[in-house]
């Protein structure tokens, strides 16, 4: 694992590459990353294999350059105030990577509250844009701390729509529903199984499948040959871009424990 | 530049914040513009806190406007998609009220909320949207219905009911005395829709200027609000504080943090209220200035 920069690849860097991969082959659409690692991942994707992606400054502007995380953009290529952003969600030319306080085997996600909605044990963010996102454009999730508290059998409030819920709601809900992948600090997951139950696509180097299973509150769907590969290595160029261009301050290391 | 048509002698709609709040009544459905902790009409909210107006149904992309009114016990029902301080993910008064079970809530998706405002502005009973299908928004809002397309697709979509309000409060960067108003920052939010979907609407602004100075060198599309949708105009410098009102000023992050810290504890909140919210708007700004001096 000797790299050009002379340092071993960190867990956070595997996570960045795994998040970047979510936007591969997406073409000319808006990448909406939420959280530090997805933000680095989206920028890395744009600088490498997905150059046509659109990015925002996190507020109302589409940026034409790829500044380091935390730095101001110097090129504005478009205007995307909230009203246009919401219209863009409904139009579908967008792939968002959201967080999740809870997620279940079919990809139902909760960011609203924990406990009974009528009187929650813990109020969280509210549904925000999750219901619109999940039935209108591709959605992925980023979970910085993979645990049985997050990966649950059943979420308390369905904010983001999972496969079983979309099917139950009918063709208008499934028409554009497309959950691409779940990236956690332990591995990469998707729903490309016959019943759309979550399966492990890869585990990050240093992580065992056993640990993933113990940290997941439901049984992951079996993979055909029973063998889950490691998440791919970043290229030297990707490592250089992550470390020197997109995240020179090392913010990624604060979101994921080593 | 002189105005070739001569001076405009119409009286205009200038009011004080207290006069605006004097037009509001308990039990009203009240819309509040801005978004989260961004360009909220906080001077008008503070005037509302000084009044006896209560039992409100609030319609808001919620921020500290919701928090302050909820903390003061003025809100019977809240219609929202979130209540956030942006740099602090969750409004603490809102969280506390929810966890006490003390707040009647209509929780909508952000785009559903926009569609509801649009229906309200266009006097439609509802607008269809895909958002909400398959989510628990429909479970926790049993009043929501779906509608089936009459065309060949036969799609079944959510019918978002119109959000109509008795009054709307918004804050803009500039306005004239007739109610034409501009935003100067990068985002208009939904303030025009709030005004159009309300029976009455009140605009506070950083500065009232002559109509001839409204556009200046700026593009006319920044004139978001038109006077025919506006009932009253108030000049409230720093009237969005502590939320952002760019480019006039950004969010007062240290003060917002002090607000949030105080809101998490009843005793600290009583002290915060006594220091900042028990006097006039001028008292508020003097107390904030003094507080900032102490922090140095």
Q: Give the DSSP letter string of B243-254.
A: SBBTTTB---HH
Decide if pLDDT at B7 tops 70. Answer: no
Cross-chain residue pair A132–B157, CB shorter than 8 Å: no
Average per-residue pLDDT in chain B? 96
Tell me the pLDDT band of B83, cut-offs 50, 70 and 90: very high
User: Residue A205 has what DSSP assignment?
Assistant: T
**CA dihedral of residues B36, B42, B46, B52 (deg, nearest 10):** -70
CB A129 within 8 A of CB A89: yes
In chain B, the percentage of residues whose pLDDT exceeds 70 is 98
Residue A72, chain B, CB below 8 Å: the answer is no
Going through chain B in order, the beta strands assigned E by DSSP cover 29-32, 56-60, 75-80, 104-107, 126-129, 145-148, 156-161, 165-175, 181-182, 198-208, 223-225, 232-235
Going by pLDDT thresholds of 50, 70 and 90, the confidence category of residue A1 is very low
Task: Chain A: give the shortest CA distance to residue B149, in Å.
Answer: 11
DSSP three-state, residue A187: strand
- Are B106 and B75 contacting, i.e. CB atoms less than 8 angstroms apart? no
Nearest Cβ partner for A126 among B82, B157, B189: B82
What would the mean pLDDT of B104-108 be, rounded to a whole number? 98
> What's the average model confidence in pLDDT over A161-169?
98
Minimum CA–CA partner of A124 in chain B: B90
List A residues 198-227 in contact with B (Cβ-Cβ < 8 A).
Answer: none
Q: Give the relative orientation of helices B253-263 and B266-276 as an angle to the nearest 10 degrees.
A: 130
Q: Is residue B121 within a helix (H) or strand (E), and if so which, with residue range?
A: helix B110-121
Q: Kindly determine whether residue B99 and residue A126, on different chains, have CB atoms separated by under 8 Å.
A: no
CB contact under 8 A, A126 and B129: no
Would residue B179 be called left, alpha or beta, if left means φ above 0 and alpha means ψ between -120 and 50 degrees?
Answer: left
Contact partners, residue A90, CB within 8 Å, separation at least 6? A132, A136, B111, B129, B130, B131
Inter-CA distances, B65 with A40, A99, B175, B287, Å: 33, 26, 21, 19
Q: How confident is the model at residue A258 (pLDDT cuts 50, 70, 90)?
A: low
Tell me the per-residue pLDDT of B129-150, one tens digit each, with 9 for 90 and over: 999 999 999 999 999 999 999 9
Chain-centroid distance of CA A84 in Å reads 22
pLDDT score of B8 more than 80 = no
Residue whose pair of structure tokens reads 């502590």 in the numeric block: B242
When pLDDT is averaged across residues A131-138 and rounded to a whole number, the result is 98
The answer to whether A54 touches A244, Cβ cutoff 8 Å, is no
What residues are paired with A228 via a beta bridge? none
Taking only the tens place, the pLDDT of each residue in A58-94 is: 999 999 999 999 999 999 999 999 999 999 999 999 9
Nearest by CB: B190 against A83, A157, A165:
A83
Q: Is A114 on the interface with B (CB under 8 A)?
A: no
Question: Could you tell me the pLDDT band of residue B1, with boundaries at 50, 70 and 90?
Answer: very low
Q: Which residue has the higher pLDDT, B65 or B218?
A: B65
Helix (H, G, I), strand (E, B) or coil at B82: coil
Q: How many beta-carbon pairs under 8 angstroms link A with B?
A: 139
Count the neighbouring beta carbons within 10 Å of the beta carbon of residue B166: 17
> Does residue A158 belong to the interface with chain B, where contact is any CB pair within 8 Å?
yes
Q: Is the CB of B186 less than 8 angstroms away from the CB of A59?
A: yes
How many Å apart are CA A115 and CA A112, to the nearest integer?
10
User: Rounded CA gap, B252 and A207, in Å?
Assistant: 43
Interface test with B, best of A109, A164, A172 (most B CBs within 10 A): A172
Distance CA B13, CA B126 (A): 32
> Mind telling me how many Å the CA of A136 is from chain B's nearest CA?
7
């Amino acid at each position: 694992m000797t790299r050009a920069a002379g340092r071993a690849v960190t867990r956070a860097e595997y996570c960045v590459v795994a998040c970047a991969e979510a936007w591969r082959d997406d073409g000319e659409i808006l990448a909406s990353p939420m959280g530090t690692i997805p933000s680095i991942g989206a920028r890395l994707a744009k600088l490498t294999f997905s150059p046509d992606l659109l990015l925002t400054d996190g507020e109302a502007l589409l940026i034409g350059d790829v500044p380091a995380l935390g730095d101001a953009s110097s090129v504005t290529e478009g205007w995307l105030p909230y009203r246009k952003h919401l219209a863009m969600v409904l139009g579908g030319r967008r792939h968002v990577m959201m967080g999740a306080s809870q997620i279940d085997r079919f990809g139902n996600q909760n960011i609203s509250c924990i406990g009974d909605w009528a009187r929650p044990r813990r109020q969280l963010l509210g549904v925000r844009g999750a219901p619109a996102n999940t039935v209108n454009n591709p959605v992925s999730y980023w979970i910085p701390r993979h645990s049985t508290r997050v990966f649950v059998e059943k979420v308390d409030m369905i904010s983001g729509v999972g496969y079983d819920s979309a099917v139950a709601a009918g063709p208008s809900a499934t028409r554009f529903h497309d959950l691409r992948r779940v990236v956690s600090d332990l591995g990469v997951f998707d729903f490309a199984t016959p019943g759309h139950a979550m399966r492990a696509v890869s585990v990050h180097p240093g992580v065992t499948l056993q640990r993933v299973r113990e940290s997941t509150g439901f049984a992951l769907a079996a993979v055909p040959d029973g063998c889950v590969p490691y998440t791919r290595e970043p290229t030297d160029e990707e490592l250089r871009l992550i470390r020197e261009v997109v995240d020179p301050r090392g913010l990624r290391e604060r979101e994921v424990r080593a | 530049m002189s105005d070739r048509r001569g001076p405009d002698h119409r009286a205009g709609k200038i009011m004080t914040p207290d006069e605006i709040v004097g037009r509001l009544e308990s039990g009203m459905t009240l819309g509040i513009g801005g978004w989260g902790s961004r360009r909220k009409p906080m001077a008008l909210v503070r005037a509302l806190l000084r009044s006896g107006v209560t039992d409100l149904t609030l319609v808001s992309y919620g921020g500290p406007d919701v928090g302050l009114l909820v903390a003061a016990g003025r809100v019977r029902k809240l219609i929202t998609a979130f209540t956030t301080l942006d740099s602090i993910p969750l409004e603490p008064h809102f969280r506390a009220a929810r966890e006490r079970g003390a707040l009647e809530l209509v929780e909508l998706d952000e785009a559903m909320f926009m569609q509801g405002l649009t229906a309200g502005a266009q006097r439609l009973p509802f607008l269809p949207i895909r958002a909400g299908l398959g989510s628990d928004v429909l479970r926790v809002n049993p009043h929501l219905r779906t509608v089936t397309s009459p065309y060949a697709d036969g799609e079944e979509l959510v019918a978002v009911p119109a959000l109509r309000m008795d009054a709307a409060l918004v804050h803009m960067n500039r306005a004239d005395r007739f109610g034409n108003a501009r935003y100067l920052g990068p985002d208009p939010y939904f303030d025009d829709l709030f005004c159009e979907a309300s029976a009455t609407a009140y605009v506070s602004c950083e500065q009232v200027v002559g109509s001839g100075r409204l556009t200046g060198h700026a593009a006319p599309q920044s004139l978001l609000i038109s006077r025919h949708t506006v009932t009253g105009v108030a000049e409230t410098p720093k009237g969005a504080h502590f939320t952002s009102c760019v480019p006039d000023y950004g969010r007062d992050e240290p003060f917002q943090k002090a607000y949030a810290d105080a809101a998490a504890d009843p005793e600290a909140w009583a002290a915060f209220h006594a220091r900042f919210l028990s006097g006039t708007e001028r008292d508020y700004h003097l107390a904030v200035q003094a507080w900032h001096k102490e922090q140095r």
